[in-house]
Amino acid sequence: MHPGTPWYKVGAAAEQVAIDAGFEPIRNLCGHQLELYNLHAGTSVPSYACGPDNPGFKGTIPSGGIFAVEPFNTTGSSGMVENIPPRHSSNIYRVTGDVAIKKAVAKKKLKPLGARLAHYIEERYVTLPFAERWAFPLMEKPFPQENEESRIRKWNALIKKLISIRFLETYHALRCADGGMIGQYEHTVWITDGGAEVLTIE
């Protein structure tokens, strides 16, 4: 990953490693550019041999860019993932950034307790994705005397409300389209004039 290298060559290199190891690369997931509070920004990073004419991976690697390089590989043969229904099938959430908490309270779309939880979540994660297990401990702030079962019940109701008013969105859980097992690995890479510097290793 040097400045000026076409993206399709990155994809071809990633696929070759997967094939040599006996796996099939997933073709409908890819890596991505990173920006402050924008996890999936701009440019996509291929991890299969997409070819020079693929409209999704045009251009070359820019100097100074920061990218999540995350090949997904499968024991299956389709090389494709599909969503697992229903739409809210995972417990990964993200603040959309489209709903102001104060306005939601003023319009009676959100009660003060829901607004407090929304504020805690927004303050901690801004618009970055987060897992339910990371955020659930925030329930101890408004409900210090409640037991775990009660907090779970309240959490589920509040999250459902925050999704319904579009303050939060959830991500689909995914599976290999033909039932294969999928593995994924990821590094964050900074492109310097001398090449790629991996930021996620010591």
φ/ψ region of 18 (left if φ > 0, alpha if ψ in -120 to 50, else beta) reads alpha
Co-location of 152 and 136 in the same domain: yes
Is 81 contained in some domain?
Answer: no
- Residue listed under structure tokens 């307790």: 113
Say how far residue 77 (Cα) sits from the centre of its chain. Answer: 24
Contacting residues for 125 by C-beta, under 8 A, at least 6 apart: 94, 95, 135
Do 69 and 109 belong to one domain? no
pLDDT tens digits, residue range 27-85?
999 999 999 888 888 899 999 999 999 999 999 999 999 999 999 999 999 999 999 98
DSSP H/E element including 10 = helix 7-20
Same structural domain for residues 102 and 164?
yes
Q: With 80 as the cut, is the pLDDT of residue 87 above it?
A: no
Q: Report, as an integer, the average pLDDT of 8-33.
A: 97
User: Do both 186 and 165 map to the same domain?
Assistant: no
Does some domain include residue 2? no
End-to-end CA distance of the chain: 19
Q: Tell me, yes or no, whether 86 lies in a domain.
A: no
Domain that holds residue 186: 7-76+178-198
Any idea what the CATH number is for the domain that residue 25 is in?
3.90.230.10
Mean pLDDT value of segment 75-100: 91
Tally of domains within the chain: 2
Q: For position 174, what pLDDT does the model report?
A: 93
34 part of a folded domain? yes
Distance of CA 124 to the CA centre of its chain: 16
Q: Is residue 89 over pLDDT 90?
A: no
Cα of 200 vs its chain's centroid, Å: 17
The reported pLDDT for the residue numbered 9 is 98
Quick check: helix, strand or coil at residue 188? strand
pLDDT score of 35: 92
Tell me, letter by letter, the H, E, C secondary structure of 122-151: HHHHCCCCEEHHHHHHHHHCCCCCCCHHHH
pLDDT score of 85: 86
Provide the sign of the torsion angle of the four alpha carbons 6, 12, 15, 20, taken in this order. negative
- What is the structure's pLDDT at 76? 96
Query: pLDDT of 122-158, one tens digit each?
Result: 999 999 999 999 999 988 888 888 999 999 999 999 9
Shared domain check, 100 and 57: no
DSSP 3-state assignment of 114? helix
Whether residue 86 has pLDDT greater than 90 = no
Whether pLDDT at 98 is above 90: yes
Q: What letter represents residue 170's amino acid?
A: T
